[in-house]
Amino acid sequence: MFDQLSDRLQATLSDVRSRGKLSESDVDAAMREIRLALLEADVNFKVVKTFTKTLKERCLGSDVLDSLDPGQQVVKIVNEELAALMGGTGSELAIASSGPTVILMAGLQGSGKTTACAKLARFFGEQGKDVAVAACDVYRPAAVEQLVTMGGRAGAHVYEQGTDADPVAIAEWALEQAHAERRDVLIVDTAGRLHIDGDLMDELARIRKKTRPHDVLLVVDAMTGQDAVGVAESFAEAAEFDGVVMTKLDGDARGGAALSVKAVTGKPILFASTGEKIEDFDKFHPDRMASRILGMGDVLSLIEKAEQQVDEQAADDLREKLRTDQFTLEDFLTQMRQVRKMGPLSGLIGMLPGMGAMKELKNADVDEGELDRVEAIILSMTPAERVDPTIINGSRRKRIANGSGTRVQHVNQLVKQFDQMRAMMRSMASGKMPDAQQLAQMSGGAPRPKMRRR
């Protein structure tokens, strides 16, 4: 996400950084580049104007230009200002002190409200909350069915009355149900509406009045252009939303909407939806996102993700196995599954500092299908084969390939890669870092014919 904006800003800043001394005209030139980069990233025209003005004033301060490393100072300022533009260190949802926390979701058609409802429901469910969703989109054909399916998948209870009831009445009824059934959270899905549609905006205001939500969230498509600001302003008026859910951040959107909305409405981005799967949904951290845009990585998020998923005992066991060189295909499978729980691998790569600049890795398309195939192959092996792959002879290979629906060369490839990995782990255990080539061999799904084991 934000790749193109990221590339341009990084290029500009690395130029600035490489200079020992900065003149006013250097800063001017950098500001022009930044302005264009932001405009092409769909950051709102007016936001860009203000942003570059603030930035320039700060960068031309004597404390920057006279400092020992003015370039570095400029990078720091851009980072801070970007984070501030998106809302600083991040904000929290308001939670009810007693009874269900009511969250009202609003947004334009197609921004991804229904999906966001289900993802949010799962987010709370993961925290052990009892979550219900209310289906108040009675206009779009089959929207209720979609919420029933997705809400169910998220483990939430779905309150629906079909499409003949009045959305305001459904919302009220759902709230009563949520109280009676002592739910912790009630998420109210509403129909997508145009911000200039008076009747529907009025309906939204009435739902808001009747349900007295603790939080009103505006769902915004990250690919929205200059109009994002107008939309947000109108919704702010009718629904007084408290925060924003950014959707479709997994595309190559340049994030202009994300950068503009907070600046214009003063409401923070609370959540970001980053993929098709129901678990591709996370809290939004503006400061971390700013670092990511500037290629400074987001190690904090990565560590958090890992902490959520990795079982400490298992990690200790693994360390021991690595040390004693007893790592088997079975362990490999466990490891792979654990890493995959953290989300798509391509997403993880973006969080590593400096990876943004490493073109090869960034564009390395981690093929999740390839990983599925690897799983299938290992699962088709006998326990003995998993412990000692060297016993896998020709007929065993054939059997494994048949069993996993793959080909013999896939099995060969996996065994070979596993071998390489073990070799690398041995060298790591003995204190040496693997070189880039070894890493590439490991991560690369497609075999590179000329590479040879050392």
Partner 1 sequence: MATSWQEIIDLGARVPAAVPEPEAEEPQRRGVLRRLRESLSKSRQALSEELSASFFERIDEETWERLEEALILADAGAPTTAAVVERLEHEVDAGTVPADGAAVRDRLVEMLAEVASTGRAPIDLAGEPAVLMMVGVNGTGKTTTIGKIAWHLSKEMGLRVVLAAGDTYRAAAAEQLAEWAQRAGAELVRGEAGADPGSVAYDAISAARARQADVVIVDTAGRLHTQDNLMEELAKVKRVIAKQIPEAPHETLISIDATTGQNGLRQAKIFSEAVALDGVVLTKLDGTAKGGIALAIASDLGIPVKLIGVGETLEDLRPFDPTEYANALLAE
* Chain positions contacting partner 1, by CB under 8 A: 36, 39-42, 45, 108-112, 140-146, 148-150, 194-196, 221, 223-228, 230-231, 248, 250-254, 256-257, 276, 365, 367-369
Pairing of strands 281-283, 269-273: antiparallel
Distance of closest approach, residue 256 Cβ to partner 1, in angstroms: 6
Closest separation between CB of residue 365 and partner 1, Å? 6
Structure tokens at 395: 């007929």
Q: Is 317 or 372 the residue whose CB approaches partner 1 more closely?
A: 372
Q: Nearest Cα to 258, choosing from 8, 33, 87, 32?
A: 87
User: Where are any strands of DSSP class E within 9-137?
Assistant: 101-107, 131-136
CA distances from 78 to 58, 75, 90, 350 (A): 10, 5, 18, 20
Q: Which long-range contacts (CB under 8 A, 24 or more apart) does 70-75 make?
A: 70/19, 70/21, 70/22, 71/13, 71/16, 71/17, 71/18, 71/19, 71/20, 71/22, 72/17, 74/13, 74/16, 74/17, 74/22, 74/27, 74/30, 75/13, 75/16, 75/17, 75/294
Which amino acid does the sequence have at 215?
D
Output 252 or 435, the one with its CB closest to partner 1: 252
Rounded CA separation 72/88 (Å): 20
> Which CB atom, from 196 or from 439, has the smaller least distance to partner 1?
196
To partner 1, the closest distance from the beta carbon of 263 in angstroms equals: 16
CB of 153 to partner 1, least distance (A): 8
Nearer to partner 1, 214 or 292 (CB): 292
CA distance 239 to 194: 13
Q: What is the DSSP letter of 227?
A: T
With respect to partner 1, which residue has the nearer C-beta, 73 or 111? 111
Identity of the residue, 140 or 321, whose beta carbon is nearer to partner 1 in the bound complex: 140
Of 43 and 78, CB closest to partner 1: 43
Minimum Å distance from CB 139 to partner 1? 8
Classify strands 131-136 and 157-159 as parallel, antiparallel or unpaired: parallel
Q: With respect to partner 1, which residue has the nearer C-beta, 92 or 276?
A: 276
Largest interatomic CA distance in the chain: 75
The least CB distance from residue 261 to partner 1, in Å, is 13
Shortest Å distance, C-beta 177 to partner 1? 22
Q: How far is the CB of 253 from partner 1 (least distance, A)?
A: 5
Can you tell me which residue has the tokens 């984070």?
83
